[in-house]
Structure 1
Amino acid sequence: MDNDYIISTDKSRLDLTVIHQFLSQESYWAKNMPLELVQKAIDNSLCFGIYNNDRQVGFARVITDYTTFAYLSDVFVAKEQRGQGLSKRLVQYIIDYPDLQGLRRWTLVTKDAHTLYEQFGFVLPDDPNLYMQRKLIDSY
């Protein structure tokens, strides 16, 4: 990442409009998510923004207890910024983040980015039968 890009956890820098637009309009996992729910998710997560000359071009958040578990979520890079390795830089930054060291388990859910996350040690569950979910269809 050249000097024009920085990653920050400063929530005051986050551009809620950019994040909400991507999640609610472009993502497959948070389609139609209301603005107030995006804000609540940000408020209750460790957030990472990628900025190009102070303009937000990427985002991710981690839901964690900072001790044993982390769930990586809502990872995106704006379409016009893709192909520069920004998603790799973002995930590496998150994995190396000091407050997230020593965790016992990381999880995430992806439909199409397995090769990205495999580079950072993510694998399919050893025993998928151990995992359960409670999914509410059309919750937005």
Structure 2
Amino acid sequence: MNEELKHRFYINTEKSKLDIQMIHDFLQTSYWAENIPLATVEKSIQNSLCFGLYEDNQQVGFARVITDYATSALLKDVFILEPYRGQGLGKWFVEYILEYPELQDVQRWMLGTKDAHGLYRRYGFKNLTEPEKIMMRLNPNANQA
């Protein structure tokens, strides 16, 4: 990322700075959280380590990490708004999150992606080596996003 961009943009973890409506607007049209209710977005933010990417005071990107800060972390909801893509911001954002001091003891990171495998492989992510060991449970009574 060039120096000019580093001076124009910054990353912050203060939840009070997050533009919840913008995050919700983006997520509810995404392939991974289509039609997600606002209350679900608010609760997920409340219970995660969140990262906002800003130009001045305008939020242009978001990501969150669900973690115990020791054994595991799940990277979720990573996005950069369309007008800001193609400038290296996504790479810088992911690097920042993975290098975040409080997350340096995490032993295992996971994420799900439909189309950004190349981006995440740069940072050591790979396909599950033993997917048969990973299980999931969907709650039929919860909002599915």
TM-score category (smaller protein): over 0.9
What does residue 117 of structure 1 align with? 120
What does residue 10 of structure 1 align with? 14
TM alignment of 1:1-140, pairs within 5 A: 1-25=5-29, 27-135=30-138, 139=144
Residue type of the partner of 2:33? A
Say if 1:139 and 1:70 are closer, same or farther in 2 by CA, change over 3 A.
Answer: same
What TM-score results when the alignment is normalised by the length of structure 2? Answer: 0.92
State the 1:128 CA deviation.
1.1
State the 1:2 CA deviation.
2.7
State the 1:136 CA deviation.
5.1
Unaligned residue ranges in structure 1 (runs of 5+): none
Unaligned residue ranges in structure 2 (runs of 5+): none
CA distance in 1, matches of 2:90, 2:126: 18
Q: SS of the residue aligned with 2:7?
A: coil
Residue type of the partner of 2:134? Y
Residue type of the partner of 1:69? S
What TM-score results when the alignment is normalised by the length of structure 1? Answer: 0.95
Moved more, 127-136 or 54-63: 127-136
Q: SS of the residue aligned with 2:106?
A: coil
Percent of aligned pairs with the same amino acid: 52
CA distance in 1, matches of 2:144, 2:90: 28
Residue type of the partner of 1:119? R
State the 1:102 CA deviation.
1.6
The count of corresponding residues between Structure 1 and Structure 2 is 139
Aligned Cα RMSD in Å?
A: 1.3
Residue type of the partner of 2:79? F
